[in-house]
Amino acid sequence: MRTPLASSPTDNPDGPPLILDQVSVSFNTSKGPARAVNDVSLTLAQGEILGLVGESGSGKSTLAFTVMGLLPDGARVDSGQIRVMGKDLYHLDPEVLRDFRWKGISMVFQSAMNALNPVLTVQDHIFDTLRSHDPNITDEKARQRMLELLDLVKIDARRARSFPHELSGGMKQRVVLAIAMVFNPPVLLMDEPTTALDVVVQRSILNQVREIQAERKMAILFISHDFSLVRSLAHRVAIMYAGRIVEITASLGKSDAHHPYTEGLMRAIPELSEDEVTISGIPGNPPDLLHLPTGCPFHPRCPVAFDRCRTEVPPMLQVQGNLVACHQYSRSGEESDHGLE
Amino acid sequence: MRFFLNRLGFLLISIWAALTVNFLIPRMMPGNPVDAILAHFQSEGAPLGPNALHALEQQFGVAHSSIWSQYLGYLQNLLHGQLGTSITYYPLTVTQVIERSLPWTLGLAGTATIISVLLGTFLGVYAAWHRGTRIDAGLTTVTMFTSAIPYFWIALILVYLFGFELHWFPQFHAFSTLPPGVAWWKFALDILYHAVLPGATIVISAIGGWLVGMRNNMIQTLGEDYVTFARARGVRNRRLMIAYAARNAILPNLTGFAMAIGFVVGGALLTEIVFSYPGIGMQLLTAVENEDYPLMQGIFLIIALAVLLANFFVEMVYGFLDPRARQGE
Ligand SMILES: Nc1ncnc2c1ncn2[C@@H]1O[C@H](COP(=O)(O)OP(=O)(O)OP(=O)(O)O)[C@@H](O)[C@H]1O
Ligand SMILES: [Mg+2]
């Protein structure tokens, strides 16, 4: 399963666990609608970890909440289709949806620090989750499941009676991960699960995610703005810019063909070469969602932009096995190899 | 348990401080309260006997013993429930006067306050859950209006409409003179009947604050990540509303509850006056009008104790509801 894009979504439950087809989402703001997710198409294959990388505000969390069907008031899906395990969450009966969420798809929130109710213990959280889907579960069974889960994320069983304020940041993150794994869902969305943690804790949690994924084989959409972290974890990486996916790539080698934005991101990673550290970024700022540039959203910052970039949104092109939305790869022979060194 | 002992210790120290302040204030007042009292009695043509004079001097520290032995005597009297003799109701003691009026105040203002807190909180939760709907807008507008009307105005309007014009409810007093030997439940109904208008005054004027406060806290907690996370996990609406949103939204309100319950004893003054209700508030007014210092002092002491006890009680509830408070110190 390395085809990055399904041509059209299906109701086939044996197909890819997560399919997004041309999904657009906007927020109602006082100054008009702001497109936070723009024409996004993605497919998550069974057992795959797909990284989703982008600057702050590029729409990663909005995309995750859209998939969960948990957009806040004032946000709406303008167009497109989403299939989770073959189901269209936006056309499910509310009670069926309530039950399907967490069993079919679960999510680790960006702010694990605030994802736990301050007045409930770890055990309360896990029991609540179990009982919401199986009201008749016995205490004994629920307890057993809880112990398995705590063991899975390597938290001492005595912590079951702890309140969130008694846990460290890393422990809270593990608890949230344990809660996400309550029903072993086939699809897991992880929204910057380690951003607020120090490097050591971050590494140990990522190793845990890797281990759990290797064992349970769920498909993971792993959101981060840390390019190097995602590169080491994911099978493929999708790059998001101003609400659009501009590249989906399995190879992040320097020599491959990439979107100019991806190249900029790769350059922004500090590089230890011989004695000097070089950090170079992308000049300029991401666009205002209320006044998106015409054509390619990246063109005002793009070093290789040309006329067409300013007028026409580039389609996804298959370039050396990657999917790249950039006009420079569709130019005819005579204008080619400009900025492709 | 440690939390409980800790708070209990704090309560005892605060009570001691309140008692001491109550002892010191009349001794630091300019002028001599005993002279004022004597003048009062003389003008009424009923001069006090030497015994009564001595008792008064004892109580207000005009006595010639050292302040320390006065203090010890004062504490000892308090232990035996002796707060001195009321001047207005002579020869009744202050304790007796308070014993007669406190139940009326607790029964009326206490019940009315609890009703407005519970009802306001419940409606606030409901309005927040249905925020943006017509029910929410209706509740918020109506209670904004009622809490903007001055308190005694509501009392006067209620008396005029339902007492004077419509004769649905009695205008004054806590009970009527019933023939002797009447069944106890008839008497109870009579008391309830008399309590409707003053009780409604308190509820109407207080409920808006609780409703709006709870609604705003609740809207805030509904936006918290732990609520969204719970919704994502499939937690059912009822549990989401109560255990996740309301349980956290109520915490900032608890301090307000403590104040409100504490002020029940002293706070129903205006209602009691409008309705000639024989509670502590009425007695305080009488005491002030008659320069009845012993009674005033006794009532202030009771009010202070009520505030402290209410605070203690609410802190216990807080510790029960919020694990972070339990752990502190
Ligand atoms: N409730 C909201 N109302 C209006 N606009 C919003 C709302 N939530 C997000 N946005 C806007 O949508 C865009 C995308 O936000 P989103 O949180 O999805 O970004 P992100 O990629 O997750 O960023 P980060 O890395 O900081 O988490 C931003 O421009 C943001 O301002
Ligand atoms: Mg985000």
Report the distance separating Cα B229 and Cα B164, nearest Å.
Answer: 56
Q: Is residue A248 domain-resident? A: yes
Nearest to A49 by CA among A216, A233, A184, A244: A233
Q: How far is B321 from chain A (nearest CA, A)?
A: 7
Which of A87-96, A201-210, A320-329, B263-272 is predicted most confidently?
A: A87-96
- What's B322's domain CATH number? 1.10.3720.10
Percent of chain A with pLDDT over 70: 88
Report the distance separating Cα B294 and Cα B26, nearest Å.
Answer: 10
Nearest to A101 by CA among A91, A111, A89: A89
Q: How many CB pairs under 8 A join A and B?
A: 73
Whether B228 contacts A68, CB under 8 Å: no
Test mutation, A117, A176, A191, chain B, max B CBs within 10 A: A117
A42: containing domain: 18-337
A154: left (phi over 0), alpha (psi -120 to 50) or beta: left
**pLDDT tens digits, B167-186:** 888 887 777 777 777 788 88
Q: Is residue A201 domain-resident? A: yes
Q: Which of A76-80, A294-298, B69-73 has the least mean pLDDT?
A: B69-73
Q: What is the model's pLDDT at position A8?
A: 45
Q: Is the CB of A119 less than 8 angstroms away from the CB of B233?
A: no
**pLDDT tens digits, A268-294:** 766 555 555 555 667 778 888 888 888
Q: Is residue B188 domain-resident? A: yes
Q: Is residue B90 domain-resident? A: no
Q: What is the model's pLDDT at position A228?
A: 81
Query: What's the token pair of residue B48?
Result: 């006090």
Q: Is residue B43 domain-resident? A: no
- Domain count for chain B, please give it: 1
The yes-or-no verdict on residue A5 having pLDDT over 50 is no
Q: How far is A178 from chain B (nearest CA, A)?
A: 12
Say which residues have a Cβ less than 8 Å from residue A239's Cβ, sequence separation at least 6. A53, A54, A245, A246, A247, A248, A249, A259, A261, A262, A265
Q: Is residue B274 domain-resident? A: yes
Q: What is the model's pLDDT at position B177?
A: 74
- What's A194's domain CATH number? 3.40.50.300
Query: What's the token pair of residue A274?
Result: 């011989």
Nearest to A109 by CA among B217, B241, B224: B224
Q: Is the CB of B243 less than 8 angstroms away from the CB of A120?
A: yes
Q: Is residue B107 domain-resident? A: yes
Q: Is the CB of B324 less than 8 angstroms away from the CB of A163?
A: yes
Whether B274 contacts B281, CB under 8 Å: no
**pLDDT tens digits, B246-303:** 999 998 888 888 888 777 777 678 888 888 888 898 888 888 888 788 888 888 888 8
In this prediction, residue A103 has a pLDDT band, given cuts at 50, 70 and 90, of: very high
Number of H helices, E strands in chain A: 9, 13
Residue of B nearest to A125 (CA): B230
B244: containing domain: 98-326
Average pLDDT, chain A: 85
Q: Which of A35-44, A67-76, A267-276, B194-203 has the least mean pLDDT?
A: A267-276
CA distances from A109 to A43, A61, A68, A237 (A): 21, 9, 11, 20
In this prediction, residue A126 has a pLDDT band, given cuts at 50, 70 and 90, of: very high
Per-residue pLDDT of chain B (329 residues; tens, 9 = 90+): 788 888 899 999 999 998 888 888 777 766 666 776 777 677 766 666 777 777 776 666 565 667 788 888 888 888 888 887 887 887 788 889 999 988 888 888 888 989 999 999 999 999 999 998 999 999 989 988 888 888 788 888 888 888 888 888 888 777 777 777 778 888 888 888 888 888 898 899 889 999 999 999 999 999 999 999 999 999 999 999 999 999 999 988 888 888 887 777 776 788 888 888 888 988 888 888 887 888 888 888 888 888 888 889 888 888 888 888 877 54
Q: Is residue B58 domain-resident? A: no
CA distances from B195 to B80, B88, B98, B152, B161 (A): 33, 26, 20, 16, 16
List of chain A residues whose C-beta atoms are within 8 Å of the C-beta of residue B133: none
Q: Which of A91-100, A239-248, A257-266 has the least mean pLDDT?
A: A257-266
Test mutation, B227, B233, B241, B322, chain A, max A CBs within 10 A: B233
Q: Is residue A40 domain-resident? A: yes
Residue of A nearest to B327 (CA): A166
Q: How far is A159 from chain B (nearest CA, A)?
A: 15
The yes-or-no verdict on residue A108 having pLDDT over 90 is yes
Longest dimension (CA), chain B: 80
Q: Which of A13-17, A158-162, A232-236 has the least mean pLDDT?
A: A13-17
